Amino acid sequence: MKKCVVCEKGELIKVEDIILPVEGYIFIVKGERCNSCNEEFPYEEETQRTIETARKLGIWPEPLKLYRSLSKSGGGLIFRIPSDIEKQLKLTENTPIEITKIGDKIVIEPER
């Protein structure tokens, strides 16, 4: 049997009940689970099948990268969110958002 690469103590056993939640959908896949730390390792072919199915369902879109410029309004800068993203995330003008700075990146998330 293979040793767990996470805890290095347990052995990996074959399982058929690994749960992969994706955007509110639950996928059950085959893989291996450590009998010590319970870390799970889905098989690559199972993961790829899950991604393909999720893409067909429209819940695993391709990564989105847009380029925009900031505008000036009053004393600050503004950023316009494209309407397709607005619709996908069900945003309105009253949706509270969270802005986080991580290194040189800005992450904008709707509060849920």
Residue pLDDT, tens place only, 82-104: 888 888 888 999 999 999 999 99
State the CB neighbour count (10 A cutoff) for residue 70.
Answer: 10
The ranges assigned to domains in the chain are: 12-57, 71-110
Q: What is the DSSP letter of 88?
A: H
Contact 11, 41 (CB under 8 A): no
Q: How far apart are CA 44 and CA 51, in angstroms?
A: 11
pLDDT at 27: 96
Who contacts 50 (Cβ-Cβ below 8 Å, separation ≥6)? Answer: 20, 22, 27, 29, 42
pLDDT at 67: 83
pLDDT at 59: 87
Pick out the chain residues at pLDDT < 70: none
Strand, helix or coil at 50? helix
CATH topology (fold) of 71-110: Pemi-like Protein 1; Chain: D (2.10.260)
